[in-house]
């Protein structure tokens, strides 16, 4: 029944490692997003994809690479992890871009880089 799911929920890793976060939505939505929430709870968009096509890349370091194998999945791969990457990462989806479209969020992945 989960609408937007993310795995893993928690991720603890060493600096310099490469890690991935997976996101899946079963809402039949066309657009998916990645947001980052920092330690002060501030949420900021990173990427959005519409039907597997990159729409928004919000000046994120190129160590972050999103991949959308199909419109129900949007994964986030992070290379050479840095301490400043520690945050909660949220995946979200919406039916379309624009109009009254509400974005529904996944449960978040708390990434801790040691």
Backbone angles phi, psi at 8, to 5 degrees: -85, 170
- Taking the complex as a whole, the smallest distance from the CB of residue 77 to another protein amounts, in Å, to 21
Quick one: 15 or 96, whose CB is closer to another protein? 96
SS3 assignment for the chain: CCCEEEECCEEEECCCCCEEEEEEECCCCCEEEEEEECCCCCEEEEEEEECCEEEEECCCCCCEEEEEEECCEEEEEECCCCHHHCEEEEEEEECCCCCCCCCEECCCEEEEEC
| Binding footprint of another protein on the chain (CB under 8 A) | 33, 35, 40-45, 48, 50, 55-56, 58, 88, 90, 92, 97-98, 100-108, 110
Q: Give 51 or 79: the residue with its C-beta nearer to another protein.
A: 51
**Apex 28 CA angle, 27 and 34, nearest 5:** 70
CB 80, min distance to another protein, A = 26
Least Å distance, CB 34 to another protein, is: 11
Q: How far is the CB of 27 from another protein (least distance, A)?
A: 12
Q: Which is nearer to another protein, 64 or 104 (CB)?
A: 104
Residue 48 vs 75, nearer CB to another protein: 48
């Amino acid at each position: 029944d989960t609408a937007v799911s993310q795995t893993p929920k928690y991720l603890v890793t060493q600096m310099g490692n490469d890690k991935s976060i997976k996101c899946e939505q079963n809402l039949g939505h066309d657009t998916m997003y990645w947001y980052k929430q920092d330690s002060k709870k501030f949420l900021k968009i990173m990427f959005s994809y519409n039907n597997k096509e990159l729409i928004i890349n919000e000046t994120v370091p190129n160590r972050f690479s999103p991949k959308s194998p199909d419109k129900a999945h949007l994964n986030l791969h992070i290379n050479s992890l840095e301490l400043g990457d520690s945050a909660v990462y949220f995946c979200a989806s919406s039916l379309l871009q624009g109009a009254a479209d509400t974005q529904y969020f996944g449960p978040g992945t708390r990434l801790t880089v040691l």
